[in-house]
Amino acid sequence: MSVAKPIPSALLGWAQSVVGPVHLARDVSHDRDNSLVWMLSCATGVVFAKVAPTPKAFARDTRALREVAPGMEPGTAPLLLAADPLQQALLLSPVPGRMVKSLSLTRAEQRTLHRQAGRWLRRFHGGIGELSPLDRADAAAEVARAATGGEKHLVRAGDLITPEGHRTVRRHAAALGRLGPLPAGYIHGDFQERNWLLDAGPAARVFGTVDLERARPHAAVADLVPLACGSWVGHPDLQDAFFEGYGRPLTAEEQGALRCLSVLDAASAIAWGVPNGDDLIVARGRATLARLEVQAA
């Protein structure tokens, strides 16, 4: 269990300059060192103060919150109340509901959840309208970077990945590099159940999501990797429900890209997770690699 992190005095002072006196600051960070988020109680209600882990994450979070989140259905994504580049800090409105991971959902409720997630993500992917030429170039560059990054993951992983695993990663990296243009979108970047919320109102359960620090232009299918390697494994009904909400199937090129990106994500997870002691992400990476090795055989 992680130890609660006290809010830095400079961050608290800045937040109070925006929302007024804060009565309580509670650490609600993810269980990792670079996650720094506090829930602040003030006279007007609750807000969240977040410190981005890197300047790039701050820039991505800020752009998504300014340009995309306001176009989503109200209450389904945080809104930016203030930003402080010097502290890489953001002050955010709350998203109503409870974290999905804390809920016990029936299978039917899980299908409804994934249908709502698909609908939300399709809107987010087009949230700033037609991507600019620069955004489309950035999206293509992200795909190319993923393809060339495979070898870096293997170097870092070394014998943590089997020789057959090395061949699988190289084969999929090369295949990704050969694919033609993929449908681009403004992706969430960490779209999985740990960042989803459900607000159980009297009429319906409303889906929402948080954590936009990885949002950026990319191939739209890149957002499906955490689901394809996580919630959907062994549960094709959840995948079907998602695409019902998403409103379109993947193209043949996107299906190939999803396999390639999943293999590369698995290699990255193993290379990063073992030295950092993240057993969960390592297990997911090993399972993904083993599953796709079998499929490719």
Q: Which of 244, 227, 238, 229 is nearest to 295 (CA)?
A: 229
Q: 3-state class of 219 per DSSP?
A: strand
Q: Do the domains at 9-92 and 98-296 have one common CATH topology?
A: no
d(CA 46, CA 82): 14
Helix (H) or strand (E) holding 257: helix 252-273
Amino acid residing at 98:
R
Residue for token digits 């909400």? Answer: 245
Report the DSSP pairing between strands 22-27 and 36-42: antiparallel
d(CA 91, CA 156): 36
Strand partners, 37: 50
d(CA 212, CA 64): 7
CB 205 within 8 A of CB 74: no
Residue for token digits 């580049």? Answer: 85
d(CA 190, CA 193): 9
Contacts of 118 (CB under 8 A, 6+ apart): 241, 242, 243, 244, 245, 246, 247
Q: What is the pLDDT of residue 203?
A: 60
- The correct answer on CATH 3.30.200 for the domain covering 9-92 is yes
Half-sphere exposure of 138 (CA within 13 A, CB side): 13
So where are the chain's domains? 9-92, 98-296
pLDDT mean by block of 10 residues, the chain; 297 residues: 84 97 93 87 95 96 95 94 98 94 92 97 84 93 96 94 94 95 95 92 80 96 97 97 97 97 96 90 92 71
One-character DSSP codes across 152-199:
HHHHHHGGGS-HHHHHHHHHHHHHHHH-----EEEE-SS-SGGGEEEE
Amino acid residing at 24:
L
CB 131 within 8 A of CB 186: yes
Q: What is the pLDDT of residue 22?
A: 96
Return the structure tokens found at 50. Answer: 């977040």
Contacts of 88 (CB under 8 A, 6+ apart): 51, 52, 54, 55, 57, 58
Q: 3-state class of 237 per DSSP?
A: helix
CATH architecture classification, 98-296:
Alpha-Beta Complex (3.90)
Q: Which of 264, 278, 12 is nearest to 144 (CA)?
A: 264
